[in-house]
Structures are given as C-alpha cells and as structure tokens.
Structure 1
Amino acid sequence: MELRQLQYFMKVAQKEHVTQAAEELHVAQSAVSRQIHQLEEELGVNLFMQKGRNLQLTAVGQLFCKRVEGIMKDLERAVTEVHEFLDPEQGEIRIGFPHSLGIHLIPSVVAEFKHRYPNVKFRFKQGKFPSLIKDLMSGEVDLAFVSPFPESHDQVAGDIVLTEELFAILPPNHPLAQEESISLEQLKDDKFILFSSGYSLRPIVWDACLQAGFTPSIAFESEETDAIRGLVAAGMGVSLLPEMALFQTNPLQPARVPIAEPKVTRTIGLIHRADDKLPLVAESFRNFLLRYFGLSNENTPIGK
C-alpha cells in the first residue's frame, strides 16, 4: 500500500468523482482509477460504488476513509514538526475563534505576534462553540478561543484568559440610554434582539433575564454582532453584548449602559487537545497569549 494510493483515495472520496479528483491532483484520470483499483485489489473489497455519475463510498469504504483521514492528519503533523524543527519561525498556527472575537481581539494579538515573528503563518476558522470543539478534536485547529470556557471536558485542556462584562445596548433615544447604570429588570417590557440558537451568548443573556425575573420577548435573532448592534441602533429592540463586540465599525451605533443587577459576564478560554503535544510554533503562540492576558511571566522565544 502506497501513500499515493491513500492520497488519491481520499481525494476521490472527497469529490465523489474521479475526473474532478484527477483535476485537483493534476494527474490523468486513468492514473487515479488505476491507483484506486490497485488499492481495492490489495484490500480485497470495493471501496466505492457507482451512484449516477458519481462515486459513493461503500460501508467498508467509509470505515477505511475514517482511518485514513486520521493517518493523513498525523502525517501532515509529522511533516509540520520536521519543518518547525528546522526553522520554527516559518511554521503555521491554526486557530479557531467565535465571531465576536474577530472584531478586535484576534486582529490585535495576531498583529503583535506577527510583529515579532513575521514569517509565521496563520490559518483561521470561525465557528460556534460546538463546531470549534469539533474542529479542535479533529485536528483542524491546534488552539481555539471559546466562550464559555468548558469547565469539564475530558479531551480538552486550557485556561480562562478573560472574564468579560456584558453591557445593555439600547437605541440612542431609549428612555434609559443616558443612565449611568441600570438593572436588567428595567428592560423586561422591551423587545430583545438575540443571537440565534447555538451561539454561546444567547443562553448567557437568556439566563440573566430569567435571573432578573422575566422571560425576554424576542423581536429578531441574528448570527452577526454587527447586525445586532445595527438593529438596536435603528430602534428595533435592545440587547446585551460584551465590550469586545462594541467596537465601532459603522456610524450608526447603539447606546451602551452598564448593568448593575445582575452582573452579566462571559468567560473566554484558550483551549487545546488535552493529550496531544502542540506544534512548537503553536505552543509558542499559546505562551505568548498567556503572557498577553497576564497569566504567565514566562518569556520563551520560538524554538526554545
């Protein structure tokens, strides 16, 4: 069994079409077909079955694909580690984060790290909490910012790097817009604009409203921080957002007012796979982030 056969097999499994796989691999279609045929002969099974004009993995093909995917990721990691050993400042950092951190935090920390190590590359993935955990466990990313921090997860380790206060955001002409602070109960009769289900800020806001003695009435649900801010500024409702999501990106801005009761916060954690050694460059970035958030005094350069 050759590496080339596994590479061709994975590409056909992904594209479900030999011609398209051959085009992406920049080889002849016959070469792909021959390698797949030889692989099936060696295994003594059919890995694919015809479905219309496409190919579909058989049951045993799906099982084989899952295992090969893990092998290919391990091989990619091994190659990366060799390159980083030769020149750790040329490595790639793969990091996931929720949308709300992409407005200010991620650009800030990446810019500072790139200033020190300009040749380091970054690969980013945005997502909701469940997809970020999934990306971390599958090896799609090496590090992930998540909120809330997962207090108990057997396969995840990390640190709470930040606890952030949430503010009430109100239309500029709202009766409470000029207050120094408010209680959340004062918004019980307002319509709320919340994140859609699956976003970690939604249950934080929902639970805070319940703690304040009311169930929020939802006017609109969104998947974008900018949309929530804009709709509130336009007078469509009220919401709660962390300070990090309140950096101005357009002229139309809502009023923001601190919430005195109850205090509403979210935790932001930096996590990694618990039983997996980070690549050198990712470990160096993690140490940099812990220093950035004041959690470590260690000052270890890349490769040391």
Structure 2
Amino acid sequence: MDTANLAAFLAVAATGSFSRAAEQLHLTQPAISKRIASLEQQLDCKLFDRIGRHISLTEAGLALRPRALDIIDALEDTRRALSNLSSSVQGRVSMATSHHIGLHRLPPVLREFTRSYPQVAMDIQFLDSEVAYEKVLHGDIELAVITLAPNIEPPIMAERIWNDPLDFVVSPDHPLARVPTITLARLGEFPAVFPGPNTFTRRIVSQVFNREGIEPQISMSTNYMETIKMMVSIGLAWSVLPRSMLDAQVHALALPDAYLERQLGVIWHSGRTLSNAGHAFIRLLKHNAQLANLPSHSPGTTL
C-alpha cells in the first residue's frame, strides 16, 4: 500500500476537500484524485461519498482512517529512530507555539537554533496553547512551546522553561489606579476582560476568584494578550497580563493576597521518538532559560 496514497486520503478526510488537500500537500487536485482512485482500487471499496460539493467518509473510509493514521505515524517514528542513529542534527522540526510566546520569548532561541543548526527546517504553527496541546497529543506535531496546563498527564511529557508572573492591570486613569492596595472583592465590582474560557490562563485566574467565592464581571474575552492589553489601556476593563508585557500603557494593581503565575514550557508525546533536532531544540530552550535565571554580577565581581 502506497503511503503517498494514504497521506492523500488523510488530507482529504481532514479537510473535507480535494482542492484543500491538494494545497496542503503541495499537489494538483487531479494528482490527489488519482491517488484516492488508486487507493480505492487497491482496497476494492469506495472511501468517499461525493454529493454535490460535499465530501464525506464512507463506512470503509471511517474504518480506514485510524489505521491509516497508525501506519503513517509508525513510518514517521521509524524514520526518526533510524535518522537518530546518526549524531547529525538535520531534517525538520514540526512545532507549535502560542502567539504570546512566539512574540515575546522564542525569537532569541529560534535565532540561535537556526544559526547553530542550518540543516534543520523549522515548521512552526502559531496556535492557542490548548490547540497545540491537542496536536501533540494526537501526534500531529513533534513539539509545542506553550502555557503549560495546570495538570499534565501521560502520554504528554513537559519541561518547564519559564515562570511567567501575571499582574492585575488597569489603565492609568482607571479609578482603581489611585488605590494603594486592592482586594479581589473590590476588583470584582468593575468590568473585566478575561482570556478565553477554554484557555489554561483563564483557569489559573478563575481559580483565584473561585477560592474566595467571588464572581468577576467578565464583559468580554479573547485569547490574545495583545488585544487584552489594548482593551485595558483604553479603559474598557481591568484584566491580567504577563509582567513582561507591562509598560506605561497599563497600571499594575497591588493585590497582596492574590499572586498569579503561569508556567511556560515545552511538551512532547512520550510515545513518539523525538528527532535529533527536537532534542537539540529542547536542550537550547533549557540552556537559554538557565542563562536568563543566572544572577547578574557587577564588573569586577568574582564568580
């Protein structure tokens, strides 16, 4: 059975479209149709029903899909394992990262990695942390650098790279900006903009309020920290932001009894063989984090 035909089948099944599958695999639509026809001939059964422009899997197609995924995953894992017998770092790393980490944490790491390993092609997707987690879980990508879930269980493996303190923030002209210290109950009296309801960050923030039995006035939500910062800066609501994003556009509030912190790190699937490039990328992430956490020393100080 030709794996190229299986790959075409999986692409059509995932996209629900021969044309989108062709784009995904960088082929022409006739080439995709030919591969599907060849696979159907090999298996002597119809894999897709085509009604107008709608494409759906037949019963045989539904039965084939998980088996095709297992075959492709096994071949890819075998390829990586054999490639790892060589100590060279080359090939491709498929990874995902959140928009925030991709903008504020990863650039220096990616710059050093591409300079150190020019033979590695980086395939990077910018996704919400929760979506990236699912893609690693299902074997769609090798690594993800994301906000770590509060609880991570096998088969997902995780390595914490950065602590990411979060601060409660308002606009500089917000009424609470002039109050020396704030309580959660007082904060809950004002409109808030929160991270999306299914995000790991939302869970972290909500837990603080739930422990006190306080229900914040959430007037809107979004998954993008940069959008939250803009909404806060123009006075629409209060929110929480990573401390690394704070500047003159927002004012951090003092809440002595409400410390918030996220863990940012890298995850991978324990059942998937990491490529040499994947191992090298994780090592570089950890090395950069260690350097960032070293205490600073004034000139002339003995180390």
TM-score normalised according to structure 1 size:
0.79
What is the one-letter code of the residue matched to 2:198? Answer: G
Measured at CA, do residues 17 and 268 of structure 1 come closer, stay the same or move farther in structure 2, by a change above 3 Å?
A: closer
Q: Could you tell me which residue of structure 2 aligns to residue 219 of structure 1?
A: 219
1:229–1:13 Cα change, 3 Å: closer
Q: Cα distance, 1:87 vs. partner?
A: 8.0
Structure 2: distance between partners of 1:21 and 1:240: 40
Root mean square deviation, CA, Å: 3.2
**More deviation, 284-293/68-77:** 68-77
Which blocks of at least 5 consecutive residues in structure 2 are unaligned? 292-303
Give the Cα–Cα distance (whole angstroms) in 1 for the partners of residues 11 and 214 of structure 2. 53
Report the CA distance between 1:228 and its aligned residue.
1.0
Alignment correspondent of 1:266:
262
Report if the CA contact (8 A) 1:144-1:270 is conserved.
yes
- Is contact 1:81-1:280 (8 Å) kept? no
CA shift for structure 1 position 80: 5.6
- Tell me if 1:93 matches 2:93: yes
Q: For residues 16 and 133 of structure 1, what CA distance do their matches in structure 2 show?
A: 23
1:92 counterpart SS class: strand
Q: Which residue of 1 aligns with 2:251?
A: 255
Give the CA deviation at 1:186.
Answer: 4.0
What's the secondary structure of 2:204's corresponding residue? helix
With 228-237 and 20-29 compared, the bigger mean Cα shift is at 20-29
Whole-angstrom distance in 2 between the partners of 1:167 and 1:109 = 25
Counterparts of 2:240 and 2:17, CA distance in 1: 48
Residue equivalent to 1:276: 272
Q: How many residues are paired up?
A: 289
Q: Does 1:72 align with 2:68?
A: no
- 2:20 and 2:243 map into 1 onto residues whose CA distance is 46
The verdict on how the C-alpha distance between 1:205 and 1:36 changes in structure 2, with shifts beyond 3 A counting, is closer
2:171·2:232 contact (CA, 8 Å) conserved in 1?
yes
Counterpart amino acid of residue 25 in structure 1: L
**Paired residue for 1:121?**
121
**Cα deviation digits, residues 108-133 of structure 1 (max 9, x gap):** 32123233334433222233343222
**Distance apart, 1:96 and its partner CA:** 2.0
How has the CA–CA distance of structure 1 residues 44 and 232 changed in structure 2, closer, same or farther, with 3 Å as cutoff? same
* Cα distance change on mapping 1:273 and 1:41 into 2, 3 Å: same
Report the Cα distance in structure 2 between the residues aligned to 1:21 and 1:149, rounded to whole angstroms.
32
Stretches of structure 1 lacking an aligned partner (at least 5 in a row)? 296-304
* 1:188-245 residue CA offsets vs partner (Å, 9 max, x unmatched): 322111112112211222222334552211122122211111111111111111223x
Residue in structure 2 matched with residue 25 of structure 1 by the alignment? 27
Q: 1:68 to 1:262 in 2, by over 3 A?
A: same
Q: Which residue of the partner structure matches residue 106 of structure 1? A: 106
Determine the C-alpha separation between the residues in 2 that align with 1:22 and 1:127. Answer: 22
Provide the residue aligned with 2:283 in structure 1.
287
Q: How does 1:145-156 map to 2 (within 5 A)?
A: 145-156=145-156
Contact 1:147 1:200 (C-alpha < 8 Å) held by counterparts? yes
Q: TM-score, normalised by structure 2?
A: 0.79
Residues in 1 aligned to 2:96 and 2:4: alpha-carbon distance in whole angstroms: 30
Q: Secondary structure at the match of 1:259?
A: coil
Q: How does 1:133-172 map to 2 (within 5 A)?
A: 133-172=133-172
Kindly indicate whether the alpha-carbon contact (under 8 Å) linking 2:184 and 2:209 is maintained by their aligned counterparts in 1: yes
Pairwise CA distance, 1:136: 0.2
Rounded Cα–Cα distance in structure 2 between residues aligned with 1:135 and 1:99: 16
Quick one: structure 1 residues 236 and 67, their matched pair in 2 at CA, closer, same or farther if it must change by over 3 Å? same
Aligned with 2:256: secondary structure?
A: strand
- Partner secondary structure for residue 230 of structure 1: helix
Task: Answer whether contact 1:129 1:198 (CA < 8 A) is retained.
Answer: no
State the partner residue of 1:203: 203
Which residue identity is paired with 1:40?
E
Tell me the percent identity.
24
Change (3 A) 1:8 1:234: closer
Change (3 A) 1:11 1:98: closer
> How much has 1:266 moved relative to structure 2?
1.8
SS at match of 1:277: coil
Whether contact under 8 Å (1:96, 1:144) holds in the other structure is yes
Deviation, structure 1 residue 163:
2.7
